[in-house]
Amino acid sequence: MESIESTRTESSRAESSRAESTRTLGRSGIQVSVLGFGCWAIGGEWQDTDGQPLGWGKVDDEESVRAVRRALDLGVTFFDTADTYGAGHSERVLGRALGKRRDDVVVATKWGNVFDEDTRTLTGSDDSPEYARRALTASLRRLGTDHVDLYQLHLADLDTGRAAELRDMCEEFVEQGLVRAYAWSTDDPARAAVFAEGEHCAAVQHALNVLQDAPEMLALCERSGLASINRSPLAMGLLSGQRRAGDALEAGDIRSRPPAWLGGYVDGAGADPDWLDRVDALKDVLTSDGRTLAQGALAWLWARSPHTVPIPGFRSVAQAEQNAGAMEKGPLTAGQLADVDRILGR
Average pLDDT per 10 consecutive residues for the chain, totaling 346 residues? 45 48 96 98 97 96 98 98 98 98 98 98 98 98 98 98 98 98 98 98 98 98 98 96 75 91 87 94 97 98 98 97 97 98 96
Residue 1: predicted pLDDT: 42
Cα 308 to Cα 24: distance, rounded to the nearest angstrom: 10
Count of domains observed in the chain: 1
What local confidence, expressed as pLDDT, does residue 251 receive? 86
What is the torsional sign of CA 109, 110, 115, 120?
A: negative
Q: What is the CATH number of the domain that holds 67?
A: 3.20.20.100
DSSP 313: B
Residue 11 contacts by C-beta under 8 Å, 6 or more apart in sequence? 303, 304, 305, 306, 331, 334, 337
- 329 vs 331: CA distance, rounded Å: 7
SS3 (DSSP) at 72: helix
pTM (2 d.p.): 0.93
In angstroms, the CA 311 to CA 101 distance is: 20
Q: What is the pLDDT of residue 246?
A: 64
In eight-state DSSP terms, residue 240 is: G
Full residue range of the structural domain in which residue 139 is found: 2-344
The pLDDT score that the predictor gives to residue 241 is 81
**Residue 206 confidence (pLDDT):** 98
| Helices and strands (H and E) in the chain: how many | 11, 15
Q: CB within 8 A of 307, min separation 6: which ones?
A: 10, 23, 26, 218, 221, 222, 226, 227, 228
Q: Nearest to residue 262, comparing CAs of 21, 5, 70, 52?
A: 52
pLDDT for the residue numbered 324: 98
